[in-house]
Structure 1
Amino acid sequence: MPSSPATGAIPVLTGSYTTDSGGDGPGIAALLLDPATGRLAYDDEVKPLAVSGASFLAAHPSLDVVYSTNETETGTVSAVARVGDGTLSPLGDPASSGGANPCHLTVHPSGEWLLTANYGSDIAPGTVAVHRLGADGHLLEPTDLVVHQGSGPVTGRQEGSHAHQVLLDPAGRFVLATDLGADAVLTYRLDTVTGTLEQAAVNRMRTGSGPRHLAFAPGGELVLSADELSSTVTCHRYDATDGTLTALSSAPATTAKDIVNQPGGIVASPCGRFVWVTNRGADTIAAFRLVGTALEPLGEVPAGGTWPRGLALVDGHLLVANQHSGTLATLRVLQDGTLDRPHQPISAPSVVCALAL
């Protein structure tokens, strides 16, 4: 393995598909990012942890605990503690995710609740689950399970509901759950005493768009969506009083022609002026400037591999998880929102997400 970057490096965890989930990755691996150069290296002091189908990772807000989806038909979620020098250790046994193929999760700011989006399968609908968390971060009992309903016009992808992301708004008042299969974003209130969800709104998205992931712009007034099935990026007005979304503008996610392209991860800049999205198919990262509520394309750069899925903004760099090529790439963000071409990618078999700590 390569030597570690200089002192001051940022710890990064990656999640990957494992042999029992259709990949050849290790599960969760530990790396270090040198923020001065964008260079990545494996942390030689921390052994990978075999977590089945670790397709998305989320950190506890106050504890050295990370949660992972275990994306299989018999879906589970895992809690992982970081101890000592960053060593990864299971924190209790995996718990049922409440559905098939869990693909996204998030921790409530209180640290008391874990919310999970289960994509479902050809025969099982998408669901959103809530688990209570213990004082040390371990998984306790499930407290609610919401079953999504609906479908869309895209054959092979929208015969049923497919929950793809669960996201808290900046005020922590509402939970937004995207449903790729039903062309909808469902808004819930989380009862922080009982851990139950109450539906507050159903936001209908453009027919056949397949909303995958959302990103809030700073301030919480605008929400950007990566629309997987229509290969678009859409800017929405968010009403924090009732959790509703109103589409304002949209732009193609890529300029590439004659290919099937599926946007994946989406990130908004801390200044609120820029948005970046991964393009699976075009194998690029596209940059956009927000001009008011309009999306102005700033161009695309190679993703540093094939099938870029997860995207994370870390100290002025975008980390790109290229699933099919098994590479993790670093792209430096320039002042005008455009991107440098990738730093030398590092090998990361079946990588699908990255989480900076």
Structure 2
Amino acid sequence: MPTPSSTDEVAVLTGSYTPDSGGDGAGIAALKLAPGTGHLAHDTKVPPVPVSGASFLAAHPSLDVVYSTHETDPGTVSALIRHGDGQLAPLGDPLSSGGANPCHLTVHPDGGWLLTANYGSDTAPGSVAVHRLGADGRPVELTDVAVHEGAGPVAGRQEGSHAHQMLVDPAGRYVLATDLGADSVFTYRLDPRTGTLARVAVNRLRAGSGPRHLAFAPGGELVFSADELSSTVTCHRYDAGTGTLTGLSSAPATAVRDVTNQPGGIVTSPCGRFVWVTNRGADTVAAFRVTGTTLEPVYEMPTGGTWPRGLTYADDHLLVANQHSGTLVALRVLADGALRQAGPALSVPSVVCALAL
């Protein structure tokens, strides 16, 4: 297997649960991906950063700053600056996430706001929060918290709201928040002066579906949801003028039978022809071809580990975080949407997400 030069390597950060958050991981670790081969390796020059409950990572659109959730109750979020040699250092102190168990965050495309989804707890409902970012990228002020309401029919999972993702639409006009507990996607408009959220729509999805994450197709006319509780993938039409979704078609997330399955991560291909989703339980990644507004299953392969959670597209590869087996694997994307393991899985204890920089 050829060894690429350092200029060819893609920097990758992984987030994992630490011992104080129910796992045995290191927090945030630095890796390298060789584009031509998909070979993964630890970046031994960059020590891990022991961030508690680093369940999701996001990058600033123009600064060398990354953000992490601290999935704790009460929750916090933090920023780290990434120096030219790849070294990571805290950028300011962690700030309250405005809720419990933050599980997802993203930076608004204008670079001025950090948007966080708080899953909630037995005593705290799901909510979404906004932090103003300083000129250097650090979160400096919690400007708004919007509490969700609603419930669903699945006992033990939908007694109340559980926000799971914050996603800015491709036009940058609306912010969408999935809520697994309420079977809904809440649409907000972010005020760029005050950092406050105004709710403009509540998109009710199928009862008991438990929408976890969304992924837009290029162009933004279609958006796909990974439905954790119904083990389906759904294609929705997105109205960019109103921020509303209309369900069009659904497909089972896995063809594996006789297993309780929970879809996790979902991504679309840059060309818009394919959608991939991880399956926790079946322990696979499934590929779907988008034909018009229909999802056609075309391929499914085991991830070589257990409980594949996070899914990231990076340089014609999918990076899959096998949480329970503690491995990260790179799968090469083929022209027909199928996948091939590109190299050996890399040990990353309790890994739950990856971020390609």
TM-score bracket, normalised by the shorter chain, equals over 0.9
Shift of 1:123: 1.6
* Pairs within 5 Å for 1:337-352: 337-341=337-341, 343-352=343-352
* Pairs within 5 Å for 1:259-338: 259-338=259-338
Matched, 1:10 2:13: no
SS in 2 for 1:20: helix
* 8 Å Cα contact 1:5/1:40 also seen in 2: no
SS in 1 for 2:20: helix
The CA distance in 2 between the partners of 1:188 and 1:303, in whole Å, is: 36
* 8 Å Cα contact 1:5/1:39 also seen in 2: no
Amino acid at match of 1:298: V
Q: How many residues align?
A: 355
The CA distance in 2 between the partners of 1:44 and 1:339, in whole Å, is: 29
* Pairs within 5 Å for 1:12-161: 12-161=12-161
Q: Which residue of 1 aligns with 2:241?
A: 241
Task: Give the gaps of 5 or more residues in structure 1.
Answer: none
SS in 2 for 1:325: coil
Q: Which residue of 1 aligns with 2:177?
A: 177
Shift of 1:84: 3.3
Deviations 1:196-219 (A, max 9, x none): 000010000000000000000000
The CA distance in 2 between the partners of 1:330 and 1:122, in whole Å, is: 36
The CA distance in 2 between the partners of 1:325 and 1:152, in whole Å, is: 31
* 8 Å Cα contact 1:75/1:96 also seen in 2: yes
The CA distance in 2 between the partners of 1:87 and 1:341, in whole Å, is: 29
The CA distance in 2 between the partners of 1:99 and 1:349, in whole Å, is: 27
SS in 2 for 1:214: strand
The CA distance in 2 between the partners of 1:309 and 1:101, in whole Å, is: 17
Shift of 1:342: 5.5
**Structure 1 stretches of at least 4 aligned residues deviating more than 3 Å after TM superposition:** none
The CA distance in 1 between the partners of 2:65 and 2:304, in whole Å, is: 30
Shift of 1:344: 1.0
* 8 Å Cα contact 2:80/2:88 also seen in 1: yes
The CA distance in 1 between the partners of 2:123 and 2:211, in whole Å, is: 20
TM-score normalised over the length of structure 2: 0.98
* 8 Å Cα contact 1:301/1:341 also seen in 2: no
SS in 2 for 1:340: strand
Task: Give the gaps of 5 or more residues in structure 2.
Answer: none
The CA distance in 2 between the partners of 1:140 and 1:5, in whole Å, is: 40
* 8 Å Cα contact 1:317/1:331 also seen in 2: yes
Shift of 1:337: 0.7
Task: Identify if the C-alpha distance between structure 1 residues 342 and 255 changes in structure 2 by more than 3 Å, giving closer, same or farther.
Answer: farther
Shift of 1:5: 5.3
The CA distance in 2 between the partners of 1:301 and 1:323, in whole Å, is: 17
The CA distance in 1 between the partners of 2:84 and 2:59, in whole Å, is: 17
Amino acid at match of 2:33: L
SS in 2 for 1:319: strand
Deviations 1:283-335 (A, max 9, x none): 00000000000000012111121000000000100000000000000100000
Amino acid at match of 2:345: P
The CA distance in 1 between the partners of 2:330 and 2:79, in whole Å, is: 27
Shift of 1:56: 0.3
SS in 2 for 1:26: coil
* 8 Å Cα contact 1:169/1:175 also seen in 2: yes
Q: Which residue of 1 aligns with 2:257?
A: 257
The CA distance in 1 between the partners of 2:125 and 2:67, in whole Å, is: 23
* 8 Å Cα contact 2:38/2:342 also seen in 1: no
Task: Identify if the C-alpha distance between structure 1 residues 5 and 77 changes in structure 2 by more than 3 Å, giving closer, same or farther.
Answer: farther
Q: Which residue of 2 aligns with 1:226?
A: 226
* Pairs within 5 Å for 1:182-201: 182-201=182-201
CA-atom RMSD, angstroms?
1.1
SS in 2 for 1:310: strand
